[in-house]
Structure 1
Amino acid sequence: MKHRHLHRARHQGFSLVELMIGITLSLLLLIALGSLYLSTTRTRSEFSNSAEQMENGRYTLDALSRELELAGFFGPSGLARSAVTSSPDVCAADAAALGFVGSPVTMPLGVQGFAPGTAAPCLNDLLPSSEILVVRRVSTTPVAAVSAGQAYLQASACPDDTDLLVFGASAPAFKLRTKACNAAVPAELRQALVRIFYLAGCDQCSGSGDGVPTLKMAELDGGTFRFSSLAQGIEDVHFVYGVDMDGNGSPDCYVGDPGTNNAAACTTVAGYDWNTPLNNWRNVTAVRVNVLARTPRKSTGWTDSRTYDVGRGPLVGPFNDGYKRHTYAQVARLANVAGPRE
């Protein structure tokens, strides 16, 4: 009997107290792991949120800078340097309204900015507070044949040609020749490009819209504008234009609107005449792009009490909401305007 009792005692289970202690420790461990998981998830979400904001801000600078660097490219003929300058309407879409004329040789501004409140009926989702940037040029790649509805520029290199350039959408009109003056080898054709950059209050704007501030681009395609979203979360973009006042290609003064008289603010070059707005725009050789970008989602517990400098003078903010923001800035050189002057 004694032997049997000792054997049974060796195989007895946990007591109730031991079981309760084990359960309590397990619960504490699960709570700690859950808290760690929640903290890690929130940190990862905040990191992703901030990363998207930085990516959108920097992509905006890169996209605009690339376009500005190509602005004013009207082929390798060099006609643009001596051409008369025109200023087409923001929403000009017809080939005859794009600012190209054969006689006298006339070409449009490569870059032109418009202040908030400018009438632009082609931009249905334009924010009232948004500036507008229009970039005009021709394609860097010539084409062998025209496409229906597209406008092209053809410049002559043959001294026997009557016209120096032809612009339009009609294939039979393109008869200009190369330097060899061989009718069988016509001069190259380059498609006209017009791109308008602006801010909209929504990315997907159907119905009441999604409320996401977005940088958008309207691109001329076949006589109409095709719209695309470039970057979400862009709340403000401000352009400051560098004006070359002495003709050496380098900007001598940065102004918000070259179309107005900036003589009082720009005194580095004496004798410059600010009274011709079109001439001032033609002398823009660089553009400083200022961007205010916000995160796609609100951050829990974050109140944005900061103010931001977007180069306009008065600071922007505070917004006192849950979005995190950052400003970005970059200067883009208009190589096709500044280069020949140097």
Structure 2
Amino acid sequence: MRTPSSISPLQRQRGVSLVELMIGVTIGLAMLAALGSLYVATSKARAEFNKTGEQVENGRYALESMVRDVEMAGFFGRPGLSASLQYNLPGACTTAQTSMGFDNTTSPITVPAALSGVAAGGAKPTCLSNMSTGTEALTVHYASGNVSATVSGTEYYLQQSSCSSDTRQLIYDSKTANFTLLGKTCSSGSPAELRKYVVRTYYLSGCDNCSSGGDSTPTLKVAEFVNGSIQVSSLVAGIQDVHLSYGVDTDSNGSPDCYVDNPAIDNSATCTGSSGYSWTNATANWANITAVRVTVLARNLDPTTGWNDTRTYDLGRATADGPYNDSYKRHVYSAVARLWNVGGVREN
């Protein structure tokens, strides 16, 4: 048996010195500080990524919603209405049946222009009370793609004839008894398709919740004709600005010959290649729109600490947007939408 005195100093158990302990603690604290800084930086990056991802989603959804409706504008049933139509320009807030733009007693028949709009600085429609001053609006008119509509008595519907013996091409009404047009078999047991009529107006508001004590989030809103009245709802929050540029077909071949900000005025100085076109009739100008360039400026919903937005944004106007000099990040999204139901007929 070995005695304690025979055990070498290297084999004896001993603790750490104070210096060693302090060095270990210092290294541990440095590692914790590094890990903490990494965690904070990662959390901030993740938060910014989430903000940007939400802004991208909102911007693209706003753009796609407007483009989809523009592409449907002017659809009043199956293709086949006379190419030589008369056009009306109902207001965005119109709800009376007699003022919605349809008249099947005229020859050729009268229908609403596929779309209309409010240019920047134009008169604000009365039903859009929270529309931001100086901004633009777009109203589209078309028949739904759903042919299984059931008459409710408060909505308006379109029925287009497929039978040569019908004395009317189109019926626009809200009462079941008035939809008398026939399908291809010209049989009373096979009525023509019935489609709900859609009127939507896209516009900008300075608030998502516009009630007393609400917020100040810029929002793209939609006013839709539903159950006999105009109903407004928020579509996408964080939409700072929208610019609409309208492609006018001045030679009736279906393709836009020039783009203007306001088709309701004389654009002869801008559309220099369309010298033979008359700009005197605002309704005709709107009826000749065959494309719309939609440009959206989307803003993050939450500010970014340390960020100052000194950028300017080109939406296609003569003057760029910004700088806003705030802590919100922004991005521009743009697309061109064709009015297939207007331009496509002319191309054929």
* TM-score between the two structures when normalised by the length of structure 1: 0.94
Aligned 8 A contact 1:175 1:186 in 2: yes
Aligned 8 A contact 1:127 1:199 in 2: yes
Aligned-partner residue type, residue 225 of structure 1: I
Structure 2 residue 314 is matched with structure 1 residue 309: yes
- Counterpart in 1 of 2:294? 289
- Counterpart in 2 of 1:198? 203
1:28-85 per-residue CA deviation (whole Å, 9 max, x = no partner) reads 1100100011111111111222222222222222111111111100111522632210
Stretches of structure 2 that go unaligned for 5 or more consecutive residues are: none
- Counterpart in 2 of 1:58? 60
Stretches of structure 1 that go unaligned for 5 or more consecutive residues are: none
Equivalence map 1:40-51=2 (5 Å): 40-51=42-53
TM-aligned CA deviation for residue 315 of structure 1: 1.3
CA distance in 2, matches of 1:183, 1:77: 22
Deviates more, 1:2-11 or 1:179-188: 2-11
Equivalence map 1:1-12=2 (5 Å): 3=5, 10-12=12-14
Aligned-partner residue type, residue 47 of structure 2: S
What is the percentage of aligned positions where both structures have the same residue? 48
The match for 1:76 among 71, 75, 78 is 78
Residue aligned with 1:79, SS: coil
Kindly report structure 1 stretches of 4+ aligned residues shifted beyond 3 Å. Answer: 4-9
CA RMSD in angstroms, aligned pairs only = 2.0
- Counterpart in 2 of 1:260? 265
CA distance in 1, matches of 2:33, 2:99: 70
Aligned-partner residue type, residue 257 of structure 2: D
Aligned 8 A contact 1:95 1:223 in 2: no
Aligned-partner residue type, residue 139 of structure 1: S
CA distance in 2, matches of 1:304, 1:253: 33
Structure 2 residue 240 is matched with structure 1 residue 235: yes
Aligned 8 A contact 2:268 2:275 in 1: no
TM-aligned CA deviation for residue 155 of structure 1: 2.0
Aligned 8 A contact 1:60 1:231 in 2: yes
- Counterpart in 1 of 2:332? 327
CA distance in 2, matches of 1:155, 1:333: 23
- Counterpart in 2 of 1:106? 110
The match for 1:17 among 12, 16, 19 is 19
Aligned-partner residue type, residue 52 of structure 1: E
CA distance in 1, matches of 2:210, 2:6: 84
Aligned-partner residue type, residue 196 of structure 2: Q
1:146-180 per-residue CA deviation (whole Å, 9 max, x = no partner) reads 12311111122333333332211011111122243
Deviates more, 1:249-258 or 1:148-157: 148-157
TM-aligned CA deviation for residue 223 of structure 1: 0.8
TM-aligned CA deviation for residue 121 of structure 1: 2.4
Deviates more, 1:35-44 or 1:79-88: 79-88
TM-aligned CA deviation for residue 319 of structure 1: 1.0
* TM-score between the two structures when normalised by the length of structure 2: 0.92
CA distance in 2, matches of 1:195, 1:185: 31
- Counterpart in 2 of 1:280? 285
Aligned 8 A contact 2:118 2:124 in 1: no
Residue correspondences, number: 342
Deviates more, 1:143-152 or 1:33-42: 143-152
Deviates more, 1:249-258 or 1:271-280: 271-280
- Counterpart in 2 of 1:318? 323
Aligned 8 A contact 1:117 1:128 in 2: no
CA distance in 2, matches of 1:80, 1:290: 33
User: Kindly tell me: are residues 198 and 144 of structure 1, through their superposed partners in 2, closer, same or farther at Cα, counting changes over 3 Å?
Assistant: closer
Residue aligned with 2:37, SS: helix
Aligned-partner residue type, residue 206 of structure 2: G
Aligned 8 A contact 1:80 1:107 in 2: no
Structure 2 residue 142 is matched with structure 1 residue 137: yes
CA distance in 2, matches of 1:43, 1:84: 57
